[in-house]
Amino acid sequence: MGYIKINQEKITKEIAQELIDVCPFNAFDYIDSNLSVNSGCKICKICVKKGPVGTCELVEEKKEKIDKTKYKGIVVYIEQRNNIAHRVSWELIGKAKELALKTKEPVYAVVVGNNVSKIAEEALRFGVDKIYVYEDDIYEDFNVEIYTNVLSEFYDKHQVNIILFGGTAQGRSFAPRVAARLKTGLTADCTMLDITDEGDLLQIRPAFGGNIMAKINTPNHRPQLATIRYKMFNEPELITPNGEIVHEDSTNIKKETSIKLLETYEKPQVSDISDAEIIIALGRAFKKKKDLDLIEPLRKRLNAELACTRPLIENGWFDARKQIGLSGRTVKPKLIINLGISGAVQFIEGMKESELIISVNNDEHNKLFDISHYSIHGDIFEVLPKLNDLLDQIL
Amino acid sequence: MNIITCIKQVPASSKVEVDPETGVLIRDGNNVKMNPYDLYALETAYQVKSMSEECRIHSVTMGPPSAKSVLEEALYMGSDEATLISDRRFAGADVLATAYTLSQLIEHIHDYELIICGKQTTDGDTAQVGPEIAEFLSIPHVPYVKEIIDVKDKTILVRSAYDDYDELVEVAFPCLITVEKGLNVPRLPSYKRRIEKQDYKIKTVTMRNLKDKNPDNYGLNGSPTQVDEIFPPTKRTDSIKIEGSSDELSKSIVEILQESRFL
Ligand SMILES: Cc1cc2nc3c(=O)[nH]c(=O)nc-3n(C[C@H](O)[C@H](O)[C@H](O)COP(=O)(O)OP(=O)(O)OC[C@H]3O[C@@H](n4cnc5c(N)ncnc54)[C@H](O)[C@@H]3O)c2cc1C
Ligand SMILES: Nc1ncnc2c1ncn2[C@@H]1O[C@H](COP(=O)(O)O)[C@@H](O)[C@H]1O
């Protein structure tokens, strides 16, 4: 908490320029010999640490601290559609159990729908201590207004510490509504989660649209909310259930909405790269669509699925569901071969758990080499033809 | 009909690195541009305007004074009005504080039936600001709109893209939608518009103009989340680098694949 205070008496034109240069967010304005901080400031404190000594300081403001011991329980929101739970929900239960080991909190699930008893039983097998069930005809289809009412009622009643949501399209629309309703923080697309002894959730995600990770926490608000993409974590082992199903009363929950669902259209299935065991991933090194022919022999030989980075989706060469990465799919194959990919954080976070990573790139300083098991420094347009010849020889 | 579009200025390049010694963020250049998704939000607004009578489009942004340039771009593309909300006390705002500030601004503007946001930004990259604004205003939102089907008197019909399905929904005004990339082709700012709008003064709003003037609800103070630390992604220590001629490299690849029994 706080703000950056500028010691104006120390500011000269030169010092102002130094500070302007050091700030990554263009948050300083120097107008009429007066240096001020504008709303671009992210309180990153670089000016304090790296700027001319004594020119900027962080002024901390005291805030009343909440009593964190009052909030207990890590909750997974079970996303369901047509009474089938999205598997990301089970993965999150696995993670929640891991976190709860540290803080000795219970792990809960909450599900909203109509006829969701099967899901409730499944959740128990994945090991939750309790699953809270909200059932009503009106909950049949997801509705962001009504479901937000349900979740805020749930929170008011149970005062839990953490609620985790799957980072699906639905989850990413729902979680922010809940966060704003409960006036609390929400971290999108976390790729790692940890917890302090106090129960503060440490949320790690790529930040500032670049090659950086940020560790984010919610020091003085409850509940703590996060969305996590599908396939980031593993599903837990099934157990003999010893948890409890709790049916919650919905009578007092407002069920008005001005959103009318008229129709749903299922998208045609494409083979899902999330489940592929062998993947060849292609990046922007492929300049023409014709270049893709170069990988056919290897693809056939390995019986691999093709996947790609975002620029190739934008080219229209592949269906969007073939994109690896945070705004695409997370994959965990036994083998991934990356061809001509630079390794932006958003891509790496979607594939770094792969068992064997081989990357070919002609720039030895590309980021993907940092996480590859084998980094092949070469030009794909020279290596691939040679490789294809070799493959021909070794039957 | 009154439409508000929320647009944001973002860094033109996403190349950011952390200095491994000081932990300091190094940003490549000071170039900025309009968040690409917001171009589609604007074009959607112009489309809706062409589908309904007497429609005015008001573009808003929260950011430093220099963010005025995205509003100029919006005006030259076709927006009728533009407001910048800027205040030193907004510094350090996370999603909640940003959405709250924008919702306060929108209440200050008062007249609106439809709010259009981009699906997400390329710097914040949360896709949360839109839905949170809607919640603060107690209005419905529809995310990921990929097609405007129809604009009626009191409702709008849209098609949205979810992971494995699309939805056709009808939603009553006032409401907020967030739009996907590629649902239309954003127009370029035009010279003619620039001339038309040359005397237009972009409005500036600060915290003092808002209904809620409590500084605790804005900027860093109003932000439940905090960035603890920034760091470069982890590296693998057992990584093996292979160099050589293309012959040698392709041989190595085959060997690796054979050793690991993929061939
Ligand atoms: C909010 C946000 C979300 C994003 N989400 C995703 C996501 O989910 N998935 C994703 O993929 N991207 C995502 N991106 C984009 C991402 O930041 C990168 O721009 C993208 O991954 C780059 O793709 P690339 O590596 O194929 O291309 P480039 O970065 O252009 O890299 C091409 C690489 O190929 C190498 N190369 C070129 N020619 C040859 C050759 N002849 N032989 C060998 N190597 C060669 C180059 O050295 C370079 O390393 C996102 C970006 C943002 C801002
Ligand atoms: N500072 C801002 N000013 C105006 N609109 C914004 C701002 N930040 C976010 N938005 C809107 O919210 C959308 C989603 O942003 P984000 O949640 O940051 O991914 C953007 O496409 C904009 O329409």
Could you write out the three-class secondary structure of chain B? CEEEEECCEEECCCCEEECCCCCCEEECCCCEEECHHHHHHHHHHHHHHHHCCCCEEEEEEECCHHHHHHHHHHHHHCCCEEEEECCHHHCCCCHHHHHHHHHHHHHHHCCCCEEEEECCCCCCCCCCHHHHHHHHCCCCEEEEEEEEEEECCCEEEEEEECCCEEEEEEEECCEEEEECCCCCCCCCCCHHHHHHCCCCCCEEECHHHCCCCCHHHCHHHHCCCEEEEEECCCCCCCCEEECCCHHHHHHHHHHHHHHCCCC
Judged against a pLDDT cut of 70, whether residue A87 lies above it is answered with yes
Angstrom distances, CA of residue B178 to CA of A60, A172, B232: 36, 12, 31
The proportion of chain A whose per-residue pLDDT surpasses 70, expressed as a percent, equals: 99
Strand A2-6 vs strand A56-60: parallel, antiparallel, or unpaired? antiparallel
Reported as type and span, the H/E element at residue A310 is: helix A310-314
Question: Which residue has the CA at smallest separation from atom 16 of ligand 1?
Answer: A344
Looking at CATH, the fold of the domain delimited by B2-217 is given as Rossmann fold (3.40.50)
Q: Does domain A3-59 have CATH number 3.40.50.300?
A: no
Task: Give the A window 155-214 contacts with B, CB below 8 Å.
Answer: 168-170, 172-173, 175-177, 179-181, 183-189, 202-203, 206-214
What does the block give as tokens for A71?
């909030």
Mean pLDDT of A162-178: 97
What is the CB-side half-sphere exposure of residue A128 using CA atoms within 13 A? 31
Task: Give me ligand 1 centre to Cα A352, in Å.
Answer: 15
Q: What is the pLDDT of residue B84?
A: 98
Pocket (CB within 6 angstroms of ligand 2): B 6-8, 35, 37-38, 41, 61-63, 95, 98, 102, 117-118, 120-121, 124-130
**Identical fold, A68-247 and A273-394:** yes
Q: Minimum-distance ligand to the CA of A326?
A: 1
The residue ranges of every structural domain in chain B are 2-217
What does the block give as tokens for A142?
């997801």
**Using the beta-carbon criterion (under 8 Å), do A172 and B143 form an inter-chain contact?**
yes
Q: Which of B93, B100, B240 sits opposite A375 (nearest CB)?
A: B240
Closest CA to A263 of B148, B159, B176: B159
**How many A-B residue pairs are in contact by the CB < 8 A criterion?**
318
Closest CA to B29 of A342, A15, A26, A19: A26
Ligand 2 closest atom vs CA B116: 23
Of the listed ranges A112-116, A138-142, B21-25, B224-228, the one predicted with least confidence: B21-25
Provide ipTM, 2 decimals.
Answer: 0.93
Q: What is the pLDDT of residue B20?
A: 62
**Using the beta-carbon criterion (under 8 Å), do B228 and A202 form an inter-chain contact?**
yes
Task: Give me ligand 1 centre to Cα A280, in Å.
Answer: 15
Tell me phi and psi for residue B143, to 5 degrees.
Answer: -90, 170
Task: Name the residue of B96, B121, B179 to mutate for ligand 2: max ligand atoms within 8 A of Cβ.
Answer: B121
Q: Compute the Cα dihedral for B97, B102, B108, B114 and give only its sign.
A: negative
Task: Name the residue of B35, B38, B122, B128 to mutate for ligand 1: max ligand atoms within 8 A of Cβ.
Answer: B122
Mean pLDDT of A205-228: 90
Report the C-alpha gap between A84 and A262 in whole angstroms: 21
What does the block give as tokens for A237?
């082992």
How many other C-beta atoms lie within 10 A of the C-beta of residue A237?
9
Look up residue A329 and give its DSSP letter. Answer: B
Question: Which residue has the CA at smallest separation from atom 8 of ligand 2?
Answer: B8
SS (H, E, C) B148-205: EEEECCCEEEEEEECCCEEEEEEEECCEEEEECCCCCCCCCCCHHHHHHCCCCCCEEE
Ligand 1 closest atom vs CA B14: 53
Residue B22: list chain A partners with CB under 8 A.
49-50
**Using the beta-carbon criterion (under 8 Å), do A179 and B219 form an inter-chain contact?**
no
Token pair 């439940």 is found at: B224
What does the block give as tokens for A390?
């070799």
Extract the runs of DSSP E, i.e. beta strands, from A249-353.
Answer: 259-266, 278-282, 305-308, 335-339
Mean pLDDT of A16-24: 86
Q: What is the pLDDT of residue A180?
A: 98
Report the C-alpha gap between A274 and A324 in whole angstroms: 9
Residue A218: list chain B partners with CB under 8 A.
224-226
Residue B228: list chain A partners with CB under 8 A.
202, 214-217
Residue of chain B whose Cα is closest to the Cα of A146? B140
Task: Give me ligand 2 centre to Cα B10, in Å.
Answer: 10
**Per-residue pLDDT for chain B (263 aa), expressed as one digit of tens each?**
999 999 999 988 766 666 666 656 666 556 889 999 999 999 999 999 998 889 999 999 999 898 999 999 999 999 999 999 999 899 889 999 999 999 999 999 999 999 999 999 988 889 999 999 999 999 999 999 999 999 999 999 999 999 989 999 999 999 999 999 989 999 999 999 999 999 999 999 999 999 999 999 999 899 999 888 888 888 888 999 999 999 999 999 999 999 999 98
Q: Which of B167, B231, B246 sits opposite A261 (nearest CB)?
A: B167
CA A146 to centroid of chain Cα atoms = 25
**Using the beta-carbon criterion (under 8 Å), do A176 and B88 form an inter-chain contact?**
no
For A212-223, give one letter per residue: b (16+ CB within 10 A) or e.
bbbbbbbbbbbb
**Using the beta-carbon criterion (under 8 Å), do B170 and A260 form an inter-chain contact?**
yes
Judged against a pLDDT cut of 80, whether residue A40 lies above it is answered with no
Task: Give the B window 120-159 contacts with A, CB below 8 Å.
Answer: 121-132, 134-136, 140-144, 157
Judged against a pLDDT cut of 60, whether residue A1 lies above it is answered with no
Q: What is the pLDDT of residue B232?
A: 84
Report the C-alpha gap between A336 and A280 in whole angstroms: 6
Report the C-alpha gap between A350 and A332 in whole angstroms: 8
What does the block give as tokens for A228?
């996590």
Contact B57, B3 (CB under 8 A): yes
Reported as type and span, the H/E element at residue A42 is: none
* Structure confidence at residue A27 as a pLDDT band (50, 70, 90): confident
Mean pLDDT of A23-27: 79
Pocket (CB within 6 angstroms of ligand 1): A 209, 283-285, 309-311, 323-328, 340-342, 344, 346-347, 350, 360-363, 366, 379-381; B 14, 122, 125
Q: Is A61 helix (H, G, I), strand (E, B) or coil?
A: coil
Model-level pTM greater than 0.80?
yes
The residue ranges of every structural domain in chain A are 3-59, 68-247, 273-394
Residue B235: list chain A partners with CB under 8 A.
370-371
Task: Give the A window 87-106 contacts with B, CB below 8 Å.
Answer: none
User: For domain A68-247, which CATH number applies: 3.40.50.620, 3.40.50.880, 1.10.1060.10, 3.40.50.720?
Assistant: 3.40.50.620
Residue B194: CB partners within 8 Å, gap ≥ 6? B76
Judged against a pLDDT cut of 80, whether residue A26 lies above it is answered with no
Q: Minimum-distance ligand to the CA of B6?
A: 2
Report the C-alpha gap between B4 and A238 in whole angstroms: 49
Q: What is the pLDDT of residue B25?
A: 63
What does the block give as tokens for A127?
């090991």
Predicted confidence (pLDDT) per residue in A326-372, tens digit: 889 999 999 999 999 999 999 999 999 999 999 999 999 999 999 99
Closest CA to B41 of B129, B100, B153: B129
Tell me, yes or no, if B231 comes closer than 8 A to chain A by beta carbon: yes
CATH of domain A273-394: 3.40.50.1220
Report the C-alpha gap between A309 and A320 in whole angstroms: 10
**Chain A: nearest CA to B22, how far in angstroms?**
9
